[in-house]
Amino acid sequence: MTIYQPQITWYMSASHRVTGGILAAVFYGGAIAYAIQGPLGLGLNSDALVAEIATLPTSLKLIGKFSLAFPFVYHSFNGVRHLIWDTGNALTLKGVYTTGYTVLGLSTISTLGLCLI
């Protein structure tokens, strides 16, 4: 890996894989926790989670929202980018960089919008 000069394509490819793994772990981890919480007596329920989150400071809620929303939004937009590539479009060097920066911009703007709702 030391002979390669990292470029936006390298970073975005790695980020796409990492966000996919994070999303899968959070989804399956949450589903499993809810599935086994009854027999184990963990007391995980939506009312308790909402009440607990409501007591957090606003800044911590915004950080939490951003941390949850950005991987999902980024992975979704970057997935669309890959689907566009599958059609044979935007595969030039300029197209790859343009779509890369577009994904980063749309992901950031969309995540901020979701956090402020």
Q: Is 75 annotated as a binding residue?
A: yes
Tokens, residue 104 = 């980063």
| Beta carbons of 19 and 74 less than 8 angstroms apart | yes
Which residues, at least 6 apart from 23, have a Cβ–Cβ distance to it below 8 Å?
71, 72, 75
| Beta carbons of 62 and 115 less than 8 angstroms apart | yes
| Beta carbons of 103 and 81 less than 8 angstroms apart | yes
Rg for the chain (alpha carbons), in Å?
A: 18
The binding site for heme comprises 75
The binding site comprises 75
